[in-house]
Structure 1
Amino acid sequence: MRNPLWRRIPKELKEELGKYIVIFLFMVITTGMVSGFMVAGESMKKTYDNTFDKYNVEDGHFDLSDEASDNMKDNIEDEGVKLYDMSYYELPMSKIGSDSDGNSGNVEGNAETKDDTVNSVNDAADDGGRTLRIFAPRHDVNKMCLMDGEFPVGTDEIAIDRMYAVNNDIEIGDDIKAGDKVYSVCGFVALSDYSTMFQNNNDTMFDATIFGIAVVSNEEFDDLPEKNKTWSYSWMYDDGMPDEENDEKKLADDLLETVYTQAVMNGITVESYIPRYQNQAINFAGDDIGSDTNMMKWFEYIVIVILAFIFAVTISNTLTKEASVIGTLRASGYTKGELLIHYISLPVIVTFVASVVGNVLGYSVFKDMGAQLYYGSYSLTKYVTYWNADAFVLTTVIPLIIMIVVNLLVVNSKLKLSPLRFLRHDLSRSKRKKAVKLPHWKFMTRFKTRVILQNIPGYVVMLLGIYFAQVLLMFGLMLNPMLKHYQNDILDNMVADHQYVLDSQVETANNNAETYCMKTLRTTGDIDDEIMVYGIHSDSKYFPVKLDDGDVLVSDSYADKYEIVDGDKLELKESYTDDTYELKVTGSVVYPAALAVFVTEGDFREIFDKDEDYFTGYFSNDKLTDIEDHVVSEITKDDMIKVSRQLTKSMGGMFYIVVVFSLVMFMLLVYLLTKLIVEKNTVSISMVKILGYDTKEISKLYLSSTTVMVAVVTLLDILLSYLSIKVIYRAMLIDMLSGWMPIYMAPWIFPLMFVLSFTCYLVISLLQMKRIKKIPMDEALKNVE
């Protein structure tokens, strides 16, 4: 015989249609986002991993100051590698029609305000100071992927990196100027060894706005001026890449010795040597893609648990409201199991349908959104969508299990009571307690207090739900001002407007320039970071702190990331050797731009065994024009804010999505919980209507109590969110970012969060006033025992 209880499900769904539609939509969006991002992340990760074989990505490369002779290449290849010429030209680029000379973005003058300076630097990145690294077509190693358009065939055509084109508003058919020549953009490409646009491998962050790669025809490549050429050679191991990283390091170290020996014998300088495992342009994207999958999983689980508790509270309220019916059914022979299945059926059905619909949207709409986030940050080759069984299990099976378990626990604990107790509406599992005795307050105050005390379980759920929404809201609101503050902080604390790194010790005629020493070391702990060690004049006119012999100052960013205090000992090592150095910290200095250590020039030369007149570059507030031929790199304001600019460019839109999502979640939770509170007090509300209270007065009695609790809970959750964000932020960034960006919370964020949250609540309270108005007066008479 068919169970007649099933006929009640459509009726219950119709009665609570608004609530279930809201929950359904929210679960669809949550499941769709998580499923889509997981599918996109996994597909991107597999596509990235496949590029190594599909596009024959190099095992490493080195740059030389001059062309390697055939004999030199043969001697290097005798070490079990095959060399490929990957030389390139690095030329300034500007878009024809906007800034033909590429100089409109120069930052000049000292009268700018701090914000104007930041804006000028950002404008410089957008309108000038841009660079293209131009390659010949690749067909053997580090192959090309054509994203759109065509490969260049003529001497006036060029194919540029897709992301660089997007960031600089360049379209196929546009004319650009690279060096002294104008080219027509014929296509967009992705080079397999430049999935991330690192101009220099030791940069803290890449910048795909001011630096990009391009390909020209072989004929055009041969005609480019050789003065701008960098001789670069990629290698592939004859026996393939070792599976173990330690074996790869050993092979790379052995090859390095041969390369350096051959370079010295041929009078050539090795300008860089980068095995694949150290190449940020290759590895950075791969390390990041899919790394946020765990965060998305936990995000969904937390949302599902919150919704499951909301369902549980809803069902508990339904059981209380239908106690007489349940008692009658139990007395009529219905088993506890039958009623248990009935009361958890609707939440499970809603969860299942929402999960299926969410997965469909995940594999269609949200998948493309997730892919665009990756394509907005990295120059990836074309990807193929892969079926992700884990995504289906994690977004359909596990949410169903969570929903079933949570609701089983709640419903089962209620149904253990005897039918007689249901008939008597005696559903309390503890002995009846006396009402809390309240002081002799005014009637309205005492009544509102009673409402609060009676609905404490609902407010606890509200506390947890709003807490999670506030964490998301705070995270979305804090990032843009934090990046802005980081930019300002860096610019305020630059040692000099220009920092030059030289290839040899040359003198400048500028008396305002000041020499310094610099060396790059690495940390020895679990986190592998580059540490810049500077040797500064003890009486430096640029460095903000006077250094004495024996002083070892760390930058505040280094101290913050590694929690360094005065007296700690730092152990740093060379990148390519086993040499280590131990330094005892004597203090810190404000320098947010990098993880750095500062000592006097004399101490630097002694530590690293250098000559008395040794130096590596100049600090100067003036541009030095008489040493240009010896400059390896020049660090300016524009270079210093690469990290914040790139994060803003690639993730800025995501911040607003998080804010909107958190506010929607806040409104959902408050709507459902205030609705439950009104439903729980339906009989009481009906009774006071009989006593002559109007809707406005009743709303004051019930909703004002909830208003007070929402205000208290919101303030408490804002505090808890701030404490949680500090922990979460540190855990996320400590491994994700090479370098450090200290957390900063703009003071206006806290009041804005409260205003936004409370405004959302006021909208919800208006809806609940309409619900109170619809409660009939005969409701109290129906439930008289």
Structure 2
Amino acid sequence: MRDPLNKRLGRQLREELGKYVIIFLFFVMMIGAVSGFIISDTGMINAYNESFEKYNIEDGNLEFTLDPDKDTIEDIEKDGGIKLYENFYKDEETDSFDSTLRIYGERDEIDRLCLWEGEFPSADDDIALDRLYAQNHDLKVGSSFEVSGRTLNVCGIVAFTDYSALYESPSDLMFDNDMFGVGAVTDSGFDSFNDDHLHYNYSWLYDKSPDGDVQAQEMSEELMKTVAEKAMLQNFIPAYSNQAIHFAGNDLHNDRTSILVFLYITMVILAFIFVVTTESTIAKEAAVIGTLRASGYTRGEIVRHYMKLPMYTLTAGAIVGNIVGYTLMEKYMAAAYLGSYSLTTYSVSFSADAFVLTTLIPFVIMFVINLAALTRKLTLSPLKFLRRDLTRGQKKKAFRLNTKIGIMTRFRLRIFFQNISGYIVIIFGIILGYSILFFGLMFEPMLDNFKEETVNNMIADSIYVLRMPAETDAASAEKAAMTSLETTFEKYKAEDVSVYGISENSRYVKIDHNGGVTISTAFMNKYGLKKGDSITLTEKYGEKDYEFEITGFYDYPSTIAVFMDIDDFCETFDMDEGYFNIYFADEKIEDIDEKLIMSKITEDDLTKTSRQMTRSMSGIMTVFKWFGVVMFVMVIYLLAKLIIDKNAQSISMTKILGYSNREINGLYVHTTTIVALLSMLVTLPLVDFLIGAIFKMVFMSYSGYFAYETDLTVMVKCFITGVISYSLVAFVLNRGVKKIPLAEALKNAE
């Protein structure tokens, strides 16, 4: 027999249409966005994991200062238990636009290429370009551009499987797919470029693959010792520590975890909003529930009845959300990653994992919390419902308020204390909405400030790193020395530290030359170091440790660096007196053979972090901005409306007593307004603190330093956005107060 209570569902839906529409949209937004992310993320992770075997990705690569002979290579392979593959490259400057292009020859055995479009090179002037690099410079199949005085034709768009993130150097804080790119040409095309920028790079595969990163580290350390005994190493990068290979994959996995945590936190908040709405509905229909219970309806039947509409709403939201996720949002989320990483081709298919994580688990969370709340509330006797007495135990008396307080203020305080549970949820909703909005707004000014600070505190316009000492007549050139060590902090991953030897009368770097070392402010801020502390640094390709005492700080916000007197530098690292291997210069040095210049550090190198993060995160930050605003409006409207509905009888009574709509709004809506505005002001510093703590914790795992700084304008924008959002809510609430009839007080009178 059909349950007659079902006839009430349509009427309940019409009466609470606004509430259920918002909850439906909320669910569609969350499931659509997160399922779209998980679906695209799963497809890309699967393709990424399969690429190691499919494209024969290396176990590591090393670079020799001079190309070793065949016998040396064979000795290294035999003693190291590896197979070496020649993987030489040349770093060339592009003429058509400002960038560095790393050119490889044919890759048939190791680190094979994934073809996105076009074909592989066949002529000497053909080049297959990394997809992102080509996209950022408006190059496509058939395009031509100039490199070191030569014209190259783009024949194919590819993904370099060992450059899923375009890191030019493993010590870089951030990859750069704008100023740095990779391309492949034929072997004869590679030989036709001069050897001024030739790097003797070899990739290796172990005869027996390591089992996990721990064993990979142990094997690589042994291999490095073996190689260092037989040839002079310039660079040594095991695959497990190669950001160019693993950063994208780690980011895909980490983002997946973060987005799911965010989803479940949001769902719990939404579930409690449901609890508040359900309790409001029960309070509103207490007499009806009491009559039904007295008429023979069981508690279970009443619970099922009040569960139906919320669950129907969630089911509809889940269906629409999944449709949106598999269509619109999947493409959008994938575009965010494909706009940052040079990933291989991937396919999208139905993901049971995504369905369970984004739909089934949130659905269960909502069901269990609502069921528990309803079951607990409906344990009261039918008589209590008929009397509209929903308290447990003896009803508490309202505590006295000082009569010296004005009547209107006392009235507002009563409203506040009667609805305190709803206001607490509003505060948590504001914190969540502000966190999303704040995250979306803070990046752009923070990146701009980081870039400005970096440029303003550059040591020199250029730093020339030499393969061996060479003289120059450039007027602004100043000799210095530099080497690279690694940190040894137990709690954190080892990262590169640039150690500079500075002459006493340096025009570029002013430090204390009376012993000890001066460290960069980036080093100081990242690890919380202070004067008098001792730091231990170790050789990258050796076992020797160096202990230094910190005597000062140098304002250098972008690089983890140590500065010391050049004489102390030579003594510490066993160099001859007068040794140098870098030049600081404010002009281009043109009288040193290009073959003797290993690298050149310029403004572009130091600002690549801010530049790349701006490019990579601009799209996703826009999503966060709008999503934060929408969540802000939805949560506040839903809860504020509940407070009005809960007090409908009191509002109706005040109308009977002669209060105007404006005066009633001043009591009920303005109370919510005061709570909302105060919450916005108080929670902003809290949100700033929480995001700052999370930001610092996340970036400790990255090389280099990126300072978290909040621009005051971000705070102002957040608050103004909150005020405007609430103003829209208040306008709707004012109209809702006007619609409450005078008969409401008499209809529900006991």
Q: Given the superposition, is the C-alpha separation of residues 286 and 227 from structure 1 closer, same or farther in structure 2, using an over 3 Å criterion?
A: same
Secondary structure at 2:253's aligned position in 1?
coil
Aligned counterpart, 1:240: 208
Aligned counterpart, 2:401: 437
Post-superposition offset of 1:321:
0.8
Post-superposition offset of 1:173:
2.4
Q: Does 1:405 align with 2:368?
A: yes
2: CA distance, partners of 1:165 / 1:88: 19
AA partner of residue 298 (structure 1): V
Aligned counterpart, 1:208: 177
AA partner of residue 36 (structure 1): G
Give CA-to-partner distance per residue, 1:9-45, whole Å, 9 cap, x none: 3332232122111111111111121222223223222
Post-superposition offset of 1:67:
4.5
Post-superposition offset of 1:480:
0.7
2: CA distance, partners of 1:253 / 1:711: 58
Aligned counterpart, 1:331: 294
Q: Does 1:775 align with 2:744?
A: no
Give CA-to-partner distance per residue, 1:469-513, whole Å, 9 cap, x none: 111111111111001100111111111111121111222223542
- After TM superposition, the structure 1 = structure 2 runs for residues 421-460 of structure 1, keeping only pairs within 5 Å, are 421-429=384-392, 431-460=395-424
Post-superposition offset of 1:258:
4.6
Q: Does 1:164 align with 2:164?
A: no
Post-superposition offset of 1:650:
0.7
Q: Does 1:133 align with 2:133?
A: no
Post-superposition offset of 1:760:
0.7
Q: Does 1:503 align with 2:470?
A: no
Which consecutive unaligned segments of at least 5 residues does structure 2 have? none
Give CA-to-partner distance per residue, 1:61-114, whole Å, 9 cap, x none: 23345554333433333333333222223222244xxxxxxxxxxxxxxxxxxx
Decide whether the 8 Å contact of 2:512 with 2:551 is kept in 1: no
Decide whether the 8 Å contact of 1:537 with 1:547 is kept in 2: no
Q: Does 1:182 align with 2:151?
A: yes
Aligned counterpart, 1:540: 506
AA partner of residue 452 (structure 1): F
2: CA distance, partners of 1:227 / 1:726: 45
- Residue 195 (structure 1) aligned to one of 164, 182, 187: 164
Aligned counterpart, 1:591: 556
Secondary structure at 1:381's aligned position in 2?
coil
Aligned counterpart, 2:486: 522
Secondary structure at 1:471's aligned position in 2?
helix
Alpha-carbon RMSD across the aligned residues, in angstroms, is 2.2
Post-superposition offset of 1:46:
2.1
Q: Given the superposition, is the C-alpha separation of residues 188 and 552 from structure 1 closer, same or farther in structure 2, using an over 3 Å criterion?
A: same
2: CA distance, partners of 1:561 / 1:4: 66
1: CA distance, partners of 2:402 / 2:461: 68
- After TM superposition, the structure 1 = structure 2 runs for residues 337-348 of structure 1, keeping only pairs within 5 Å, are 337-348=300-311
Q: Does 1:297 align with 2:265?
A: no
Post-superposition offset of 1:748:
1.4
Post-superposition offset of 1:135:
2.1
Post-superposition offset of 1:783:
1.0
1: CA distance, partners of 2:678 / 2:119: 61
1: CA distance, partners of 2:680 / 2:714: 14
Q: Given the superposition, is the C-alpha separation of residues 189 and 471 from structure 1 closer, same or farther in structure 2, using an over 3 Å criterion?
A: same
Aligned counterpart, 1:76: 76
Secondary structure at 1:567's aligned position in 2?
coil
Secondary structure at 2:39's aligned position in 1?
helix
- Residue 647 (structure 1) aligned to one of 583, 590, 613: 613
Greater CA drift, 198-207 or 636-645: 198-207
Aligned counterpart, 1:549: 514
Decide whether the 8 Å contact of 1:352 with 1:396 is kept in 2: no
1: CA distance, partners of 2:468 / 2:195: 21
- Structure 1 stretches of at least 4 aligned residues deviating more than 4 Å after TM superposition: 65-68
1: CA distance, partners of 2:121 / 2:162: 19
Q: Does 1:60 align with 2:42?
A: no
Aligned counterpart, 2:91: 90
AA partner of residue 592 (structure 2): I
Give CA-to-partner distance per residue, 1:673-732, whole Å, 9 cap, x none: 121111112122222333344433332332122211111111111122122122121122
- Residue 217 (structure 1) aligned to one of 171, 183, 186: 186
Aligned counterpart, 1:705: 671
- Residue 731 (structure 2) aligned to one of 763, 766, 772: 766
Give CA-to-partner distance per residue, 1:101-155, whole Å, 9 cap, x none: xxxxxxxxxxxxxxxxxxxxxxxxxxx4312122223222111111112223333
Q: Given the superposition, is the C-alpha separation of residues 311 and 698 from structure 1 closer, same or farther in structure 2, using an over 3 Å criterion?
A: same
Give CA-to-partner distance per residue, 1:141-198, whole Å, 9 cap, x none: 1111111122233333322111001112223322211121222322211111111212
Greater CA drift, 555-564 or 507-516: 507-516
2: CA distance, partners of 1:313 / 1:474: 27
Secondary structure at 2:94's aligned position in 1?
strand
Secondary structure at 2:576's aligned position in 1?
coil
- After TM superposition, the structure 1 = structure 2 runs for residues 670-709 of structure 1, keeping only pairs within 5 Å, are 670-709=636-675
AA partner of residue 624 (structure 1): I
AA partner of residue 383 (structure 1): Y
Aligned counterpart, 1:618: 583
Aligned counterpart, 1:32: 32
2: CA distance, partners of 1:665 / 1:481: 23
Post-superposition offset of 1:365:
2.5
TM-score (norm 2): 0.95
Decide whether the 8 Å contact of 1:539 with 1:547 is kept in 2: no
2: CA distance, partners of 1:145 / 1:196: 14
Q: Given the superposition, is the C-alpha separation of residues 555 and 387 from structure 1 closer, same or farther in structure 2, using an over 3 Å criterion?
A: farther
Aligned counterpart, 2:713: 748
Secondary structure at 2:591's aligned position in 1?
coil
Post-superposition offset of 1:672:
0.5
Aligned counterpart, 2:435: 471
Q: Given the superposition, is the C-alpha separation of residues 443 and 356 from structure 1 closer, same or farther in structure 2, using an over 3 Å criterion?
A: same
Post-superposition offset of 1:386:
5.5
1: CA distance, partners of 2:11 / 2:593: 81
Decide whether the 8 Å contact of 2:173 with 2:705 is kept in 1: no
Q: Given the superposition, is the C-alpha separation of residues 63 and 577 from structure 1 closer, same or farther in structure 2, using an over 3 Å criterion?
A: closer
Post-superposition offset of 1:219:
4.3
Greater CA drift, 182-191 or 465-474: 182-191
Decide whether the 8 Å contact of 1:558 with 1:594 is kept in 2: yes
Q: Given the superposition, is the C-alpha separation of residues 662 and 449 from structure 1 closer, same or farther in structure 2, using an over 3 Å criterion?
A: same
Decide whether the 8 Å contact of 2:172 with 2:704 is kept in 1: no
Q: Given the superposition, is the C-alpha separation of residues 597 and 222 from structure 1 closer, same or farther in structure 2, using an over 3 Å criterion?
A: closer
Give CA-to-partner distance per residue, 1:356-395, whole Å, 9 cap, x none: 4323332332222222222111111111336544332222
In the comparison of the two structures, how many residue pairs are matched? 745
Give CA-to-partner distance per residue, 1:506-562, whole Å, 9 cap, x none: 222235422222221222223222222222223322114x31332322222222221
2: CA distance, partners of 1:433 / 1:498: 76
Give CA-to-partner distance per residue, 1:384-418, whole Å, 9 cap, x none: 33654433222222212221232233223322222
- After TM superposition, the structure 1 = structure 2 runs for residues 38-53 of structure 1, keeping only pairs within 5 Å, are 38-53=38-53
Give CA-to-partner distance per residue, 1:278-326, whole Å, 9 cap, x none: 3222222222222112211111111111111111111111111111111
2: CA distance, partners of 1:753 / 1:484: 18
Aligned counterpart, 2:5: 5
Secondary structure at 1:748's aligned position in 2?
helix
AA partner of residue 688 (structure 1): T
Give CA-to-partner distance per residue, 1:190-229, whole Å, 9 cap, x none: 1111112122232222211011111223443343334443
Decide whether the 8 Å contact of 1:549 with 1:603 is kept in 2: no
2: CA distance, partners of 1:573 / 1:74: 30
AA partner of residue 715 (structure 1): L
Post-superposition offset of 1:261:
4.5
Aligned counterpart, 1:487: 451
Decide whether the 8 Å contact of 1:549 with 1:602 is kept in 2: no
2: CA distance, partners of 1:334 / 1:517: 87
1: CA distance, partners of 2:243 / 2:431: 37
1: CA distance, partners of 2:389 / 2:144: 81
Greater CA drift, 385-394 or 598-607: 385-394
Decide whether the 8 Å contact of 2:165 with 2:175 is kept in 1: yes
Decide whether the 8 Å contact of 1:489 with 1:592 is kept in 2: yes
Aligned counterpart, 1:784: 749
2: CA distance, partners of 1:723 / 1:260: 47
AA partner of residue 58 (structure 1): E
Q: Does 1:559 align with 2:510?
A: no
- Residue 121 (structure 2) aligned to one of 143, 149, 152: 152
